[in-house]
Structure 1
């Protein structure tokens, strides 16, 4: 079996998580104190986001329209700030950088709408922390569709068996395996040590960062 040359990491649930769960954050807004309205709005946000995972259309305009439909002074910028309030797992990111230092390339492979993708790439600095980024909105196809992984394979130009993919959703892992990649289900909550064990299973043993 070929050695692993490239590792793909999902974002949400693997490398990062919301600072506050969206529904809880929405519930703190004066316009959304009623449970029925809150539940409806939170569900609508998820539906709008899902509709924008495979395109680069104006997500901000769609959220503005949704906020206007609620009224009550609901602010678009506040909603977008909640969606972009991301906590990056520092220990997992340290492992990613150790892998890169060992000579194995690391890419982000994630479903995102364009506004959040830009925030992750530029504000969180993922563009500099990975060798490349595969955002579904830029590719026009989302996981777990086969086309997502075929696009990645075509871009990388290497055999699937030399690529390892981590995702917290089993359906995405199964789709990656179907196109010939190696893949593992991994939830970032389980911690960096579990990630290191999974990497070792595939022959990847990054050197730990030297203590200062």
Structure 2
């Protein structure tokens, strides 16, 4: 079957987040930075599936570890997002070539809404698959099943690109074509991967 849709991960593929979150945490929490980091990322697991409010968890946890306003910490770690201009240009080229281009990402509600509105991702992608809305997250197979329903295409017409091998392997088990790629590898490599699936942009 011909690839008619490209499903792109966000962090590491479409955008950069904070490069060294632990450096920021050490600024505020010192020797307890790693402990705070583990607590925060554990607290995010439920909200990634739409279970609970992550920002409330940040406000509850941070005062036990660091002398910093929790909202400041949240903004610095989760709202500091830099979209890749090269990836967004590629999205435009793909859409111009007649392909559906979609976003497939694990996000809690506040960060996903920031991406949708402040970064304008709802205008850039045909379908957005945010884990918090779907009640499941990558690499769970249900995530990809729901994504296919939203896109409205059979699995073998969808090429998924993600920077995490576990997510790529999970997508393949559901029948999607899938490739492992990260922004650091360069967009020439990504275009070669697309070409390997018959997506030729000239």
**Both proteins in one fold, TM over 0.5:** yes
- 2:72 equivalent to 1:90: no
Alignment counterpart, residue 183 of structure 1, candidates 178, 187, 190: 178
Matches of 1:61 and 1:162 in 2, distance apart? 40
1:65-97 deviation line (CA, Å, top 9, x unaligned):
01233363x212211112111122111221111
What's 1:8 paired with?
A: 7
Deviation at 1:45, TM superposition (A): 1.3
What's 1:210 paired with?
A: none
Q: Which aligned runs of 4 or more in structure 1 are off by greater than 3 angstroms? A: none
Flag the structure with larger Rg: 1
- 2:137 equivalent to 1:137: no
Alignment counterpart, residue 168 of structure 2, candidates 173, 194, 201: 173
Contact 1:160-1:182 within 8 A present in 2 as well: yes
SS of residue matched to 1:205? coil
Deviation at 1:56, TM superposition (A): 5.4
Deviation at 1:19, TM superposition (A): 3.7
Matches of 1:187 and 1:70 in 2, distance apart? 33
Contact 1:92-1:191 within 8 A present in 2 as well: no
Matches of 2:109 and 2:125 in 1, distance apart? 18
1:18-66 deviation line (CA, Å, top 9, x unaligned):
244211122233xx2x22x111111111111223110153221111001
SS of residue matched to 2:16? strand
TM-score, scaled relative to structure 1: 0.90
TM-score, scaled relative to structure 2: 0.94
Deviation at 1:130, TM superposition (A): 0.7
How many residues align? The count is 201
What's 1:17 paired with?
A: 16
Structure 2 gap segments, 5+ residues each? none
Contact 1:163-1:181 within 8 A present in 2 as well: yes
SS of residue matched to 1:142? coil
Structure 1 gap segments, 5+ residues each? 208-212
Structural RMSD (CA): 1.4
Matches of 1:22 and 1:121 in 2, distance apart? 23
